[in-house]
Amino acid sequence: MTDLLAARTLMAVSLGFHILFGVAGIGMPLFMALAEWRHQRTGDPIWTELARRWARGAAILFAVGAVSGTVLSFELSLLWPAWVELSGAAIGLPFTLEGFAFFLEAIFLGIYLYGGDRIGPRTRLASAAVVAASGLASGVFVTAVNAFMQSPGAAVLGGLSPAEAAASNPMVAFSSPVFISKAVHVALSAYVSVAFVSAGIHAFGLLRTPSSAFHRKALGLALAIAVPLTPLQILSGDRSARVLAEDQPAKLAALEAHFVTGPADMHLGGIPDPATGEVRFALLLPGGLSFLLHGDRDAVVPGVDSVPVDDRPPVVLPYLAFQIMVAAGTILLAISVWIALAWIRSRTLPSSRWLLRALVLAAPLGLIAMEAGWIGSEVARQPWIVRGAQRVEDAVTAQQGLILPLIGFTALYVVLGIVTLRLLRRHVFATLNWLEGAP
C-alpha cells in the first residue's frame, strides 16, 4: 500500500466513523428539546423521562464524538499539510465557528443534564434548545468546509488562490455554489436518520410491551419528524443533483455512471463497466436522467468523457454508493407513506405489528444512506482535494510509513466502536427493562 493510499484510507475510516456522531449531534438534541417542550406544555412526566433518557444517549455519543473529532483534527494537519497551507485562510472561519458551536453544545448539555431540578423549567428548556441549535450549527459549519473543497467558487476556479479569495471575501467558504443545497441535505439527512433509529428502538419496545405509554409517545414524536421530513429529504436530494448538473457535471456523471456525453439514461442497480461504458445487469430507464434534470428525454447531459482523462473521477464505487443511498431512501419514503396513509384512515398512531416490525428493520437505513451518500460524494470529486486548485496527491504529507498510523487509528476506532455499542446497548435495554418493571 502506498503512503498516499494509506493516508486516504485513514481519512476515510476516520470520517466514516465520526460522521455517525455528527449525525447524532444534530438529531438527538432536537428530540431531547421537543420532549422537554412537550413536558412543559402537558405536565406529563413521561415526556421529561423521555427527554432525560434521550439526553443521556446524546451525552454518550457526544463524548465519543469528541474523541474521534479531536483525532480527526490532528489527522487533517498531519496528513494533509499542503491542503491546510493552501486553504487555511478560506476554511479557518467555518472551523472556528464550528469550535464555538461545539463548546456551546457541550456547556448547555452539561447544564441540562446536571442542572436537574436546581434550574427552572424555562432555563431547562432554553438549555435544550441551545444544544439543538448548536448541534445543527456545528454540522452546517463543517459542511461549509466540505462545500468549499467540492466547489471553491468562481474566484478560485478563475485563478485566485484560496488565501487571495478569502482576503477579498472572508465568507468565501459560505459562498460556494453547493453550500446551501449541501447544508439543507445534510441537516435533513441527520434528522431523518436519527428519527428512524429512534422509531425502530421504540417500535421494538412496543412489540415487547404493547401497552407502554412511554414507547407510544416516543414513537409518535419520532414519526412526527420522520414522516414529513423524509419526502423533503428526497426533494433536497433532487435539488442537489440539479446543482451538481450545473456546477460539477463530471461528478454527477460518475454518480450516475453516465460515461459518454449525450442524452442520459437512468440506471437502477447493476454494476458499471468503465471499459465498455455500460452498466451491466441494471434496469434501464431510457432518457430518464435527461428528463429528470431538464424535462426532456433527449437533452444532452455531460458525461465522464467531458473532462480530460487525468481529471476524470472513478465511477464504480461512487455509482454503487449512490445506488445504495437511493435504495435506502426509497424504502424509508415507502414506510413514511405507509404511516401517513394509516394515520389518515384512523387519525391515531399506527399500531400494526407488521408496521412496527418494518420500523425495526428500517432503523439503520438512514445511517446507511448517510454513509453511502458521503462515500459517493467524496470519491466522485477525485482527483481533487480542492476542485480546480489542488489535487489529492499534491496535498499529502511527505512522511513515509503511513501504514502504521492507519493500523493504529483503525484499531482505536474499533475499540471506540465496541465501547460505544456496549454503552448504547446497556442504555437502551436499561430503559426497556425499567419500563417493563414499572407499575
Q: What is the mean pLDDT of residues 370-375?
A: 90
Residue 431's pLDDT is: 59
Q: For residues 297 and 280, give the distance between their C-alpha atoms in angstroms, rounded to a whole number.
A: 21
Q: What is the mean pLDDT of residues 343-349?
A: 79
Residue 437 pLDDT exceeds 50: no
Percent of the chain at pLDDT above 90?
Answer: 16
Instruction: List, for residues 12-55, the tens digit of each pLDDT value.
Output: 888 888 888 888 888 888 888 888 888 888 888 888 888 888 88
Q: For residues 414 and 406, give the distance between their C-alpha atoms in angstroms, rounded to a whole number.
A: 12
**Beta-strand relationship, 390-391 and 384-386:** antiparallel
Residue 172 pLDDT exceeds 80: yes
Residue 82 pLDDT exceeds 90: no
| pTM of the predicted protein model | 0.88
| Closest-CA residue to 189 (of 26, 322, 430) | 26
Q: For residues 109 and 128, give the distance between their C-alpha atoms in angstroms, rounded to a whole number.
A: 7
Residue 319 pLDDT exceeds 70: yes
| DSSP at 283 | E
**Beta-strand relationship, 384-386 and 300-301:** unpaired
Average pLDDT, the chain: 84
If one counts every other C-beta atom within 10 angstroms of the C-beta of residue 114, the result is 9
* Residue 438 banded pLDDT, cuts 50, 70, 90: very low
